[in-house]
Structure 1
Amino acid sequence: MTDNSKTDRFAVSTWSLHRALGVTYPYRPGDEREPERRPSYGEGSVDLIDLPSALRDHGLSRLEICSFHLPTLSASYLAELSDAFVQAGVRVQTLLVEDGDLSNPETAARDAEWIASWIPVASALKAENMRVIAGKAQPTEEALSRAEGHLRWLAQQADGSGIRIVTENWFALLPGAREVKRLLGALDGKVGLNGDFGNWTGPGKYDELAQIMGKAELCHAKAHYGAGGMDAEDYRRCVELSEAAGYRGPYTLIYDSDFHPNEWNGIVEERDLIVKVLG
């Protein structure tokens, strides 16, 4: 594996730098105005527009943007942010739409419309993918079918935009491989999968992940940290099972711990372990 191919297999989510960014802007379905600025994790030390150059300086060329990290959706700001990515040689891999529930019988239609409104935002940022939440309801056949219908519609809305709609093994609707495979199978490839190491727990986690990672196009590679640092054995096993399942996409480094006060140290530690596994 060449150095360039290794580099192309790594991305970073803005969530991994949420303490450095500090502030959030919690966009919600049904809100008519842009949200107010919230110092959710303090005032922060960098702005979102600074991240493309920071990634370049750390040898990374892909970023995923959480929707709540966008300070405004104005055309002028999105153009300025997109230009910062171009200048740094960094790609917007995914826009992560961080709200909405496509399985709720009372709000799913509204939420689908709201999620669809993010497609032009993703296009303005030249994002390659847009990750949406499939649902938060219990995984009944009715709830899965409802989410399936809305995901299919969202894929139709994105058709021709260059944006790939993907969903994630996240929340109550998708608690295991059976539900993920049922949903994706019904969608006939129209919606992709972003697998996530950190969303499932318990003794069956590895088997469940092994069943879906061969179908995944993207991966949130989150390591667990305790008082002694990274659980390297768990992280290594998740990467190994993904590779064995046939996953060949990028690993988005998800650092979500205060073990390293400087978040970049955690991001680099995760990357270094994966590089060793990939060989």
Structure 2
Amino acid sequence: MLVSSKELFHIADKNNFAIPATNFIDGLTAKVYTETAESLGLPLILAYAESHKDYLGLEEAAWLGKHYAEKTSVPIVLHLDHGSDPAFIKEAIRLGFTSVMIDGSSLPLEDNIQLTKTIVDYAHQYGVVVEGEIGHVGSNTVSYEGESDDQSQYTTLNEATVFSQSTGVDSLAISIGTAHGEYTGKPEINFERLNEINGALSVPLVLHGGSSTGDENLKRCAREGMRKINIFTDLIVAAHKEAQIKTPHYMALRDNLERGFKDVLTHYYQVFETQPIEMKG
């Protein structure tokens, strides 16, 4: 079922678990992610990134996301990930996305606040929730999310507080040591910063760059305040490895790809300790 993330994050916060966010780039990925969630009876953030618009157009992504979400009995959020163009975000809302992210994290704080508040005010008119980002989650050398090799800027408590209060965002992505893409080494997570921000803010927190961060790190992030964790890169890498297995025909190749996606998503559901959520009404 297609839902908003608002109630999901409230329940996740109450029970100290995270919900995985998986970026779909075609019909196969959307299908496998939602079918895996359905088979396990668990909620999912089905995300589509603005940076992937050249692979999959926004209108087609909206149709695919809604189609597969509505075929399931579990809560599925159709989320626009890393939106940067206000016109693109507004079109996503018109097409039926239930959650959007406005990423102004590379901007000066005041500009980020102004841009984010504009999107919040617009989205809330249509009952759509908004994720903002303060601090900047950069990327590693190998990234599948449309970013160059850039540096992370850690989130401070003061900036997070001012940003949250000034914009009215429904969830907040913060930077505590992860990065988009594949790691060359194991990241160092600033759990002290996570606990500091989580203890001071009531808004649900989001972690980008979860792939390759390490199971224990991610389990601890989920237990200590992260309510959504993005894991796109690990899914793509696993599917690629499965695809390298000798396959006699196209359908066998699809089977291998599906196996890679399903196995990694199932694994991260366990790491995040995600629990079933029964929607009221």
Of the three residues 174, 191, 209, the one matched with 1:206 is: 191
Please, what TM-score do these two structures have when normalized by structure 1?
A: 0.60
Aligned to 1:256: 233
Q: Is the 8 A contact 1:195 1:213 kept in 2?
A: no
Deviation, structure 1 residue 99: 4.8
Aligned to 1:124: 95
User: How many pairs align?
Assistant: 216
Aligned to 1:82: 66
Deviation, structure 1 residue 217: 2.0
Of the three residues 103, 125, 131, the one matched with 1:133 is: 103
Counterparts of 1:276 and 1:58, CA distance in 2:
10
Aligned to 1:33: none
> Per-residue CA shift, 1:16-45, capped at 9, x if unaligned?
x6xxx5x7xxxxxxxxxxxxxxxxxxxxx9
Aligned to 1:267: 265
Of the three residues 151, 161, 176, the one matched with 1:181 is: 161
Q: Does 1:145 align with 2:110?
A: yes
Of the three residues 144, 158, 161, the one matched with 2:123 is: 158
Of the three residues 223, 234, 243, the one matched with 1:240 is: 223
Distance 1:264 1:195, change over 3 A: farther
Counterparts of 1:148 and 1:165, CA distance in 2:
13
- Aligned-residue sequence identity (percent) comes to 11
Aligned to 1:52: 34
Aligned to 2:3: none
Counterparts of 2:31 and 2:219, CA distance in 1:
32
Counterparts of 1:66 and 1:131, CA distance in 2:
10
Distance 1:185 1:149, change over 3 A: same
Counterparts of 2:39 and 2:100, CA distance in 1:
25
Q: Could you list the runs of 5+ residues in structure 1 that have no partner in the other structure?
A: 24-44, 101-113, 138-142
Please, what TM-score do these two structures have when normalized by structure 2?
A: 0.59
Q: Is the 8 A contact 2:177 2:187 kept in 1?
A: no
> Per-residue CA shift, 1:171-205, capped at 9, x if unaligned?
47962223222322333x35531356663797671
Deviation, structure 1 residue 49: 4.9
Amino acid at match of 2:222: V
Q: With CA pairs under 8 Å and 6+ residues apart, which has the higher RCO, 1 or 2?
A: 2
Aligned to 2:8: none
Amino acid at match of 2:161: K
Counterparts of 1:149 and 1:275, CA distance in 2:
36
Distance 1:64 1:232, change over 3 A: same
Of the three residues 206, 209, 212, the one matched with 1:219 is: 206
Distance 1:202 1:231, change over 3 A: closer
Q: Is the 8 A contact 2:36 2:265 kept in 1?
A: no
Aligned to 2:132: 167
Deviation, structure 1 residue 163: 0.8
Indicate the RMSD between aligned Cα atoms, in angstroms. 3.9
Counterparts of 2:274 and 2:92, CA distance in 1:
36
Aligned to 1:64: 46
Q: Counterpart of 2:193 in 1: which secondary structure?
A: helix
Distance 1:92 1:83, change over 3 A: same
Q: Counterpart of 2:67 in 1: which secondary structure?
A: helix
Q: Counterpart of 1:161 in 2: which secondary structure?
A: coil
Counterparts of 1:208 and 1:8, CA distance in 2:
18
Deviation, structure 1 residue 54: 3.6
